[in-house]
Amino acid sequence: MKKTDVINSELSTVIANMGHMDWLSIGDAGMPVPMGTKKIDLALSKGLPSFQQVLKNILTELEVQKIYLAEEIKTQNPEQLSEIKKTLPNVAIEYVPHTQLKKDLAKTHAFVRTGEMTPFSNIILESGVTF
């Protein structure tokens, strides 16, 4: 049995297959996922698991050099933005309109759906390198 923190087999496989500058997305329960984008649905019920629980779990195995967030998170969900900044304190952030973030999901290796029920709790993680 795997010893590290990400034990979901689909998610672990996606992370293992990522290279430098590849994208992985995590989002709230309502985020629309483009056709053709792999969807890993972890949602069990409202709020479970939370966006932050999933993000922190993924970060135990994925090196991240940059993140993409919806511009709207600044005004519509500043609490989540604050938590993201605490979780990824030294990572560059690029803000894009939410409509663009939704389109960009088509460029990700997968979208990880959480049970999060707060607005604009969506992120694209850009993979870094560990050397």
Q: Is 120 annotated as a binding residue?
A: yes
Q: Is 109 annotated as a binding residue?
A: no
Q: Is 20 a catalytic residue?
A: yes
Point out the catalytic residue in the list 4, 9, 16, 20.
20
Give yes or no for a contact between 47 and 115, defined as CB atoms under 8 angstroms apart: yes
Q: What share of the chain is helix, strand, coil (3-state, %, to 5)?
A: 30, 25, 45
Q: Is 90 annotated as a binding residue?
A: no
The 3-class SS string of 63-114 reads CEEEEEEECCHHHHCHHHHHHHHHHCCCCEEEEECHHHHHHHHHHCCCEEEC
CA 48/CA 31 separation, integer angstroms: 15
Q: Is 121 annotated as a binding residue?
A: yes
- Kindly report the backbone phi and psi dihedral angles of residue 84, in degrees, each rounded to the nearest multiple of 5, phi listed first: -60, -45
Give yes or no for a contact between 20 and 108, defined as CB atoms under 8 angstroms apart: no
Q: Is 122 annotated as a binding residue?
A: yes
> Which residues does the annotation mark as catalytic?
20
Q: Which residues are annotated as a binding site for substrate?
A: 28, 98, 120-122
Q: Which residues are annotated as a binding site?
A: 28, 98, 120-122
